[in-house]
Structure 1
Amino acid sequence: MRHFLTDFTEYLQIEKNASPYTVRFYVDDLEDFFAFLEEEQISSLEDVNQRIIRVYLTRLYKRKLGRRSVSRKISSLKSFYRFLERHEQVTANPFIYVSLPKTTHPIPGFLYTEELEKLFSVSDLNDPLGQRNQALLEIFYATGIRVSECQNVKLGHIDFTIGTMFVNGKGNKERYLPFGHFAETALEHYINDGREKLLEKTTSSPDAVFLNARGGPLTARGMRMILNKMVENAAMTVHVHPHKLRHTFATHMLNEGADLRTLQELLGHENLSSTQIYTHVTKDHLREVYMDSHPRAKE
């Protein structure tokens, strides 16, 4: 079984170009299933049948795993057995007829314009770290970039002449993200002033755009801590994290008339279904559109 897992991991990394994060989830799910098979004294993957799968699912629910977690494990095992079947290591995929538990899709939280304005006003733009924090916040909101993508942005990835940023996203999918005037101003100010001062604190020459207080590359954890501090300084009670700014970017774009296909490209979603979760709108905006659009809404 371990030998098959090694082969499958290489397949995910090389052929599917899956991210380390995705590969880790697959491996964890399969390790969990292998541990179950060992407990049941099942030594061959070929011996797994519908009865054994039902026992496994019962165990998962007894552990009080959520529907989303169970659904992911089933999906991982389906993919694994599909791989084994294609390489003639098993004669059939016993998970092919196992239906995924229905999962709920909570509406993503987002910030209102007034809340954003508070965040944009707290940084000291005369201080190198304040300049960095402002540029970071502007870029998160201007592009909808993921935190993992943001930490990997290099100086050479930014083209100020056309206002775009090169991003290497999930599964090494590349895309170019436009950014507007406010993000451009904050970014140029930081790169030309604050970033140069941060570099004086280190002997190395990192090419990462966003640096920490010691002049080294800023990590995803560091970015989250910066946002938390900005929220604290703004005396806000909402919880803000990089992904919430991504949700805010997507929600505001749709509210202002962006189409789903364009938003899909900007967010780097492989499937449009991932983007459709953002089609919720605020009640105020919904009413405003209705009043402006319906022929008999007004006198």
Structure 2
Amino acid sequence: MTRSSKKSGPPLPEHFAHRRDLFLHYLISERRLAENSVKAYAADIELFLSFLLSQRLRNLAAVDLKNIHRFLEQCKNKNISNRTNARRVSALRSFFSFLAGRHLVSSNPFALVDLPKSGQILPKALSIDEVNSLLAPPTTTTPISRRNSAMLYLLYSTGLRVSELVGLPLSACNLSAGFVRVIGKGNKERLVPFGSRAKESIEEYLQLARPLILKGRRSNYLFITNRGSCMTRLRYWQILRNTALSAGIDKKISPHMLRHSFATHLLSHGADLRSVQMMLGHSDIATTQVYTHIDQDRLKSIHKKFHPRG
């Protein structure tokens, strides 16, 4: 069972811990959430349960709006952001909904609580020119530079999460069909197409670089290190940052920014939202809709700059 590793207060009573663990097991076995997501739920739930103990409340069925507002007020006094509090309310709403569905509490008090306005932060994307600079051929051609170039082309061409990119099995890449088969969050499978430039870069890597990096060893991973294993997310982050600096891009860049750029550029060139949602692997289309706001902001700036009565 996944548990929070940091305890902010005394141990939870057995009945609190039991209900928490039932919910976490449900998230893992039925909703099939990723480990980091389950840990986030666990931390938010334990924080609230510890708060209840500090208020001498040991009965979850007795939780009411007064307790919840007091909890949120305490979070606000600790300068916790609205965005974080909104996530906590959402997690606790799911927790109590689960308990109510199993008749462990009579009702869900969080169903009556509005989410704190989070002031949505729009994802940052690179411009087309910046992407072109990133994808420019390396000045020196080595097996490692071919690998890095192929990874970068595939990342921008598919919008994969960095964890999906570095852990991609060799068998998941179908060059003839131009698709990668990805196992994303919640073990959900999706097929994502990639373009001809990415295909060429991967073919060059497979033919001219991967065998030299492996040095006779075997590996099930598409992109491998000198040790024959897949690289860590942190290592790829470092490689991308160094590539950006070499390309003259001085802004802070991350693999996720390439994912944002993939989605933004598709939508700005006419792709429909549902298709982008499927390629990104978003379970909720509302998550994908944030990219439409980016394009709206771009259109507003163009209007303001060029309209004679703007």
- 1:91 is the counterpart of 2:100: no
Equivalent position amino acid for 1:107 in 2 = L
Q: Any idea what the Cα deviations from partners look like across 1:246-278, whole Å, max 9, x if unmatched?
A: 111111111211111111111111222111111
- Equivalent position SS for 1:12: helix
Identity %: 33
- 1:200 is the counterpart of 2:193: no
| Partner residue of 1:213 out of 220, 226, 239 | 226
Greater shift, 12-21 or 124-133, is seen at: 124-133
The answer for the alignment partner of 1:44 in structure 2 is: 59
- Equivalent position SS for 1:136: helix
Equivalent position amino acid for 1:277 in 2 = V
**Is the 8 Å Cα contact of residues 263 and 291 (structure 2) preserved in structure 1?**
yes
The answer for the alignment partner of 2:240 in structure 1 is: 227
Residues in 2 aligned to 1:285 and 1:199: alpha-carbon distance in whole angstroms: 49
The answer for the alignment partner of 2:162 in structure 1 is: 147
Structure 1, gaps ≥5 residues long = 292-299
The answer for the alignment partner of 1:105 in structure 2 is: 120
- Structure 1 length-normalised TM: 0.90
- Equivalent position SS for 1:217: coil
Structure 2, gaps ≥5 residues long = 1-15
| Partner residue of 2:147 out of 132, 157, 165 | 132
- 1:265 is the counterpart of 2:278: yes
- 1:7 is the counterpart of 2:7: no
The answer for the alignment partner of 1:163 in structure 2 is: 178
- Equivalent position SS for 2:109: coil
- 1:55 is the counterpart of 2:70: yes
The answer for the alignment partner of 1:237 in structure 2 is: 250
After superposition, the Cα gap between the structure-2 partners of 1:224 and 1:37, relative to the gap in structure 1 and judged at 3 Å, is same
Q: Any idea what the Cα deviations from partners look like across 1:213-235, whole Å, max 9, x if unmatched?
A: 33221111111111011012223
Equivalent position amino acid for 2:55 in 1 = E
Equivalent position amino acid for 2:110 in 1 = F
Residues in 1 aligned to 2:64 and 2:273: alpha-carbon distance in whole angstroms: 42
After superposition, the Cα gap between the structure-2 partners of 1:285 and 1:264, relative to the gap in structure 1 and judged at 3 Å, is farther
Equivalent position amino acid for 2:270 in 1 = G
Equivalent position amino acid for 1:236 in 2 = I
| Partner residue of 1:176 out of 154, 178, 191 | 191
- 1:188 is the counterpart of 2:203: yes
**Is the 8 Å Cα contact of residues 214 and 226 (structure 2) preserved in structure 1?**
no
Shift of 1:140: 0.9
- Structure 2 length-normalised TM: 0.87
Task: Give runs of ≥4 in structure 1 deviating > 4 Å.
Answer: 283-287
**Is the 8 Å Cα contact of residues 182 and 190 (structure 2) preserved in structure 1?**
yes
Equivalent position amino acid for 1:123 in 2 = P
Equivalent position amino acid for 1:128 in 2 = P
Equivalent position amino acid for 2:232 in 1 = T
**Is the 8 Å Cα contact of residues 123 and 133 (structure 1) preserved in structure 2?**
no
Residues in 2 aligned to 1:212 and 1:36: alpha-carbon distance in whole angstroms: 46
Q: Any idea what the Cα deviations from partners look like across 1:112-163, whole Å, max 9, x if unmatched?
A: 1211122122635621110111011101110111112112210100111111
**Is the 8 Å Cα contact of residues 168 and 182 (structure 2) preserved in structure 1?**
yes
